[in-house]
Amino acid sequence: MIAPVRTAIFPVAGLGTRFLPATKATPKELLPVLDTPLIQYAIDEAQAAGIERMVFVSHPSKRAIERHVMDDARLRYELQSRGKSDLAEELAEAAFSRIDDDVVFTMQNEPLGLGHAVLCARDHVLPGAVAVILPDDLIRGEGCLGEMIDAYKRNNAGHMVATMTVPREETKKYGILSVLSQDGSVLLADGMVEKPDPADAPSLDAVVGRYVLDASIFEALETQTPGAGGEIQLTDAISRGAGTVGLAGFRFSGERFDCGSKAGMLKATLSLAEDDPECSEVLDEFTLSRGKALAA
Ligand code: UTP
């Protein structure tokens, strides 16, 4: 019997350099897609997957994330006293309470890499495998983490990473899985290569920001030497575990948007706008007027 995945780690301490100047004062994870910050989509996905404890690895300069995530009694009181009780209620419902919810904030004081950020969560996780969610990868659809945890349990996987197929010319942007065999949406792998040249890519299965990792990942991270960019890379530590605990890729069913980049953020916004009655009309009007202007 495989133990349930009880903890989700949210590494949110990075510098967000690809999205400067927007991220100079606003954490990348709080940038909104329509009216909802990226971190909220990630939290909703973890909740839908049945996660018990959420561990946020943040940075002292990014306290605004904690303010978004946790209940704000003062704001609630102000809204109530202005007759906006419904709004107060709505906000309180979406936020975590320090008493009723199992939420931990811990700090990564220096952005030493994603692997280092995950290691910072070590003392705060519940026993068993852990999930890691990168909030800047927004995945629409059936709830990627939930699907992945189901597959993890069925396949007795050691480390499992979310994967999607990319065009060969884009392998340089991703960690690429070295695939041995495939069973439905699960890929058995013996390692992964960080950002390979198209000619050297072992497959076209790129790793994106959802992981379910055997608890041995923390030991591996502790002895992990800096890799690409001088950072402690999570992918390096996962790769080392391939020979011991095993490694699998999971082809999720949803659509992923890289909201750490301008183009990805725009695509995510358009995708959500299409499904939002308030926005879809605006989008249609815009597309129509652009079409007419082009035709003229
Ligand atoms: P990214 O590499 O996409 O984020 O890491 P970044 O470093 O903030 O962004 P760029 O590349 O400079 O634009 C993915 C996730 O890992 C976190 C980030 O906050 C983001 O949520 N992260 C990254 C950490 O928590 N600590 C780190 O040292 C690096």
One domain for residues 122 and 246: yes
Give the count of beta carbons closer than 10 Å to the beta carbon of residue 73. 11
> Which tens digits make up the pLDDT trace of 234-292?
999 999 999 999 999 999 999 999 999 999 999 999 999 999 988 988 888 888 888 77
Cα(212) to centroid(ligand 1), Å: 18
Distances (CA, A) of 110 to 20, 67, 117: 18, 21, 9
Torsion of the alpha carbons at 258, 259, 263 and 269, rounded to the nearest 10: 120
pLDDT at 98: 83
Whether residue 2 lies inside any domain: the answer is: no
Decide: 113 in ligand 1 pocket, CB within 6 A.
Answer: yes
Decide: 22 in ligand 1 pocket, CB within 6 A.
Answer: no
Whether residue 1 lies inside any domain: the answer is: no
Give the count of beta carbons closer than 10 Å to the beta carbon of residue 52. 13
Amino acid at 287: T
One domain for residues 234 and 266: no
Tokens for 67?
Answer: 């303010």
pLDDT at 287: 86
One domain for residues 230 and 267: no
Whether residue 267 lies inside any domain: the answer is: yes
For residue 207, the domain's CATH number is 3.90.550.10
**pLDDT bucket at 186, cuts 50 / 70 / 90:** very high
Give the residue-averaged pLDDT of 70-84.
93
Decide: 17 in ligand 1 pocket, CB within 6 A.
Answer: yes
| Nearest atom (ligand 1) to Cα of 112 | 28
Looking at per-residue pLDDT, the higher value among 214 and 291 belongs to 214
Decide: 57 in ligand 1 pocket, CB within 6 A.
Answer: yes
Give the range of the structural domain holding residue 266, as residue numbers without chain letter: 261-296
Residue 296 has pLDDT above 80, yes or no: no
Give the residue-averaged pLDDT of 5-34.
95
| Nearest atom (ligand 1) to Cα of 27 | 19
pLDDT at 258: 96
pLDDT at 2: 66
Phi then psi for 186, rounded to 5 degrees?
-105, 130
Decide: 265 in ligand 1 pocket, CB within 6 A.
Answer: no
Whether residue 157 lies inside any domain: the answer is: yes
- To test the ligand 1 pocket, which listed residue (9, 10, 15) has its Cβ within 8 A of the most ligand atoms? 15
Decide: 111 in ligand 1 pocket, CB within 6 A.
Answer: yes
One domain for residues 242 and 278: no
One domain for residues 27 and 147: yes
One domain for residues 285 and 249: no
Give the residue-averaged pLDDT of 124-134.
97
Whether residue 203 lies inside any domain: the answer is: yes
Decide: 122 in ligand 1 pocket, CB within 6 A.
Answer: no
Whether residue 128 lies inside any domain: the answer is: yes
| Nearest atom (ligand 1) to Cα of 59 | 25
Cα(171) to centroid(ligand 1), Å: 19
Cα(261) to centroid(ligand 1), Å: 12
One domain for residues 100 and 50: yes
Cα(86) to centroid(ligand 1), Å: 36
Amino acid at 291: G
pLDDT at 229: 84
> Which tens digits make up the pLDDT trace of 134-184?
999 999 998 999 999 999 999 887 999 999 999 999 999 999 999 999 999
Decide: 14 in ligand 1 pocket, CB within 6 A.
Answer: yes
One domain for residues 122 and 109: yes
What is the distance between the alpha carbons of residues 230 and 224, in angstroms, rounded to a whole number? Answer: 12
Domain tally for the chain? 2
Tokens for 161?
Answer: 């990473």
Give the count of beta carbons closer than 10 Å to the beta carbon of residue 204. 18
- The pairing of strands 159-165 and 137-140 is unpaired
Decide: 114 in ligand 1 pocket, CB within 6 A.
Answer: yes
Decide: 132 in ligand 1 pocket, CB within 6 A.
Answer: no
One domain for residues 237 and 285: no
One domain for residues 221 and 92: yes
The answer to whether the beta carbons of residues 23 and 15 sit under 8 Å apart is: yes
The overall average pLDDT reported for the chain is: 94
For ligand 1, atom 14, the nearest C-alpha belongs to: 134
Percentage of the chain with pLDDT > 70? 99
What is the distance between the alpha carbons of residues 96 and 47, in angstroms, rounded to a whole number? Answer: 12
Decide: 27 in ligand 1 pocket, CB within 6 A.
Answer: no
pLDDT at 288: 85
Whether residue 131 lies inside any domain: the answer is: yes
One domain for residues 138 and 30: yes
**Three-state secondary structure along the chain?**
CCCCCCEEEEECCCCCHHHCCCCCCCCHHHCEECCEEHHHHHHHHHHHCCCCEEEEEECHHHHHHHHHHECCHHHHHHHHHCCCHHHHHHHHHHCECCCCCCEEEEECCCCCCHHHHHHHCHHHCCCCCEEEECCCEEEECCCHHHHHHHHHHHHCCCEEEEEEECCHHHHHHCEEEEEEEEECCEEEEEEEEECCCHHHCCCCEEEEEEEEECCCHHHHHHCCCCCHHHCCCHHHHHHHHCCCCCEEEEECCCEEEECCCHHHHHHHHHHHHHCCHHHHHHHHHHHHHHHHHHHC
Distances (CA, A) of 266 to 14, 61, 273, 287: 21, 26, 10, 15
Give the chain's radius of gyration (CA, Å).
20
One domain for residues 289 and 217: no
- To test the ligand 1 pocket, which listed residue (20, 106, 136, 208) has its Cβ within 8 A of the most ligand atoms? 136
Residue 104 has pLDDT above 80, yes or no: yes
